[in-house]
A and B are shown apart, each in its own frame.
Chain A
């Protein structure tokens, strides 16, 4: 009898909890009004736990590495890595500038946008569930970060900021199933949209069947999405198949190795599209949001 009572009570409780969550899901699916409050609050609170855990783990890791030795060599290596990263970013910026200089846009309206204002951030956590490709960085709104700011690595595009809190921000990686970026084939200028597949490969969609795309072509950002600056490397075409329809089926290997990312750069300079959409950008505490020259 007692066993029956427990089972009945747990059954009712199970039904109540399931019903509550179905109502919760329904409420969210029907309304698309930005980030849910629960998500923002939970992220803000948990980001601090992640920060603390990351600090402890990093402390132990760094302490152990330092104890083993080669401290001087490691410091030198870090400096060289930073220099190399800065040089690679500069190279990409120069490539973007050279690319633009070939177009009509520069002939009509010469605008120097190569001086991207960025801030470096350290990755303090990965996504809480394997089904989403996000990560948490140690910079937030206090450092001038806002939603939809582009996140880069020296080798290419990483993703965009989706939930910034005061001292941390959640970054949606380009390989997430819900991520996308305007893209073009650098060689033939064929345009399309690069979308994440949930694994470590990207798909380039909406590229016309008659477009000139071959394996090995470099895929760069087109800048039309208003998030990612134009001309930055996304990846390389790994395979091209005829779909039978109006578009090609293109698989892109990302330039960034998402498995070994430790530091990233957040672009503070607004893209021309975002700038056009923001007549009066809100003031951020800390550094200015715009650092590009007009």
Chain B
């Protein structure tokens, strides 16, 4: 059931990223919704689910992007795994810590993604700092809002606590 939920969330994020973003912000896509979903899943479900959802989302995104299949997957796998570990080791329940995690995870993702492309001499990224910073802020804002919205649902906090205690056990 949880697997189906994660797959559905990733598919929805991909569809939104490729379709709705064009209508909402007219092509200036500063938010990677798929990455936001991966970090969210990792924080709420732990490192294993995080890394598997990162792998799945990244590979699908790579396959749809004309890039080298695996680079985005690898970047999202690492981010999903580390975000999952942070979610189980620290209390990430307030907006500020969540913002920091989303921001840091996006920067790490960009480091791995851009680093691999440059290392393999496949693409050049002249002055990537403003773009990465903008995307990190955008992802962090969307991530914090997503957490807040989900927690507004009835019984969501209790379900999350129960899931977290299952992971710890």
Contact = CB atoms under 8 A, between A and B. Distances in A.
A49 interface: yes
Given A29-B122, A46-B60, A128 B69 contact: no
Interface string B152-169: 000000000000000111
Interface in A156-187: 162-163, 170, 172, 177-178
Interface of B: 11, 14-15, 17-23, 26-32, 34, 46-48, 51-52, 55, 59-74, 77-78, 81, 84, 113, 116, 120, 122-126, 131, 135, 167-169
Interface stretch (A12-20, A207-215, A219-227, A234-242): A12-20
A25 B71 contact: yes
A292 interface: no
B69 A36 contact: yes
B19 A57 contact: yes
Contacts of A14: 47, 51, 77, 81
Contacts of A46: 14, 60, 63-64
Contacts of A9: 48
Interface residues of A, number: 54
A259 B26 contact: yes
A251 to B, nearest CB: 12
A58 to B, nearest CB: 9
25 contacts: A6-B48, A7-B47, A10-B47, A14-B47, A21-B55, A21-B73, A24-B70, A25-B70, A25-B116, A39-B64, A39-B66, A43-B63, A43-B64, A53-B20, A61-B23, A123-B22, A125-B22, A126-B21, A128-B14, A128-B18, A128-B60, A129-B61, A130-B32, A130-B135, A260-B26
Contact of B64 (A42, A61, A260): A42
A126 B67 contact: no
Nearest to A170: B66
Contacts of B113: 131
A127 interface: yes
A124 B44 CA distance: 33
